[in-house]
Amino acid sequence: MIEKKKSRKKLGEIALDFQAKELVETRPISINELSKNILYGQADGVTEGVAKGYLSRVWDEAVDAFEKLHTDVCFIEVRYKSMGALAHNTTDKLFIGRRSCPTPDYNQDAFRVHNDGSIEFLWSLPSKLDVYILLEERHKLVLDPEYGELVRMVIDFSDGTLLRLAQTFDAQYDEMIKGNA
């Protein structure tokens, strides 16, 4: 009998499989999908798994911030960064726990987290190029259910509404500190 050789994958095939897996696991969630998960607890398929993993990372960072900062309310800033030329289709997220509200910026999500377990979604902003495109096409996209909420956030970012929201949160924090001092 002739015995068949076991099929072995070549390095390139393994790399492509791994890259495809990474793209599924780290695919960007549209703001509507994410907010639907956060606000209403609804999701489907891959989105649900990604959003649950994402929110659990937000909560884990908040728990660390509660302990380090000795506070009952903190802000979690999520920064998106590219993985470079070799991993051009993937992004990595940096979760930063802080007392003050982050200043709205490109490639950023922001959450306000309370010690009782509530997570308040504040905003999500795409890259500088995407913000420019969304502002240019806002009249067409604002009514589109997939992009409407994101366009509204980008408009709030460009007209300073998100900055004023961050300043309001910081003023509340300053008052709270003065009251405890």
Max mean pLDDT among 42-46, 119-123, 142-146, 176-180 falls in 119-123
Q: Tell me, what's the pLDDT at 91? A: 56
How far, in Å, CA of 42 to CA of 44, rounded? 7
Under the banding of pLDDT at 50, 70 and 90, the label for residue 46 is very low
Q: What is the DSSP letter of 117?
A: S
Q: To the nearest whole percent, how much of the chain has pLDDT over 70?
A: 64
Higher pLDDT, 23 or 85: 85
Mean pLDDT of the chain: 75
Under the banding of pLDDT at 50, 70 and 90, the label for residue 15 is low
Tens of pLDDT, residue by residue over 98-150, are 999 999 999 899 999 998 888 899 999 988 888 888 888 888 877 777 778 88
User: Average of pLDDT values for 147-171?
Assistant: 91
Q: To the nearest whole percent, how much of the chain has pLDDT over 90?
A: 28
**The model scores a pTM over 0.85:** no
Q: What is the DSSP letter of 147?
A: T
State how far the alpha carbon of 35 is from the alpha carbons of 27, 104, 107, in Å: 16, 18, 17
Type of residue numbered 28: P
**Can you name the residues that pair with 114 across neighbouring β-strands?**
73
How far, in Å, CA of 56 to CA of 110, rounded? 14
Cα dihedral angle (54, 57, 61, 66), rounded to 10 degrees? 90
How far, in Å, CA of 176 to CA of 24, rounded? 42
How far, in Å, CA of 174 to CA of 181, rounded? 11
How far, in Å, CA of 70 to CA of 19, rounded? 40
What three-state secondary structure class fits 121? Answer: strand
Closest of 110, 114, 105, 82 to residue 95, by C-alpha: 110
Range name among 7-11, 16-20, 97-101, 145-149 with the lowest pLDDT average: 16-20
Q: Tell me, what's the pLDDT at 157? A: 95
- Sign of CA pseudo-dihedral 53, 132, 153, 149: negative
71 neighbors 116 (Cβ within 8 angstroms):
no
User: Average of pLDDT values for 87-97?
Assistant: 72
Under the banding of pLDDT at 50, 70 and 90, the label for residue 38 is very low
Under the banding of pLDDT at 50, 70 and 90, the label for residue 17 is low
Q: What share of the chain is helix, strand, coil (3-state, %, to 5)?
A: 50, 20, 30
Q: Is it the case that residue 92 has pLDDT exceeding 90?
A: no
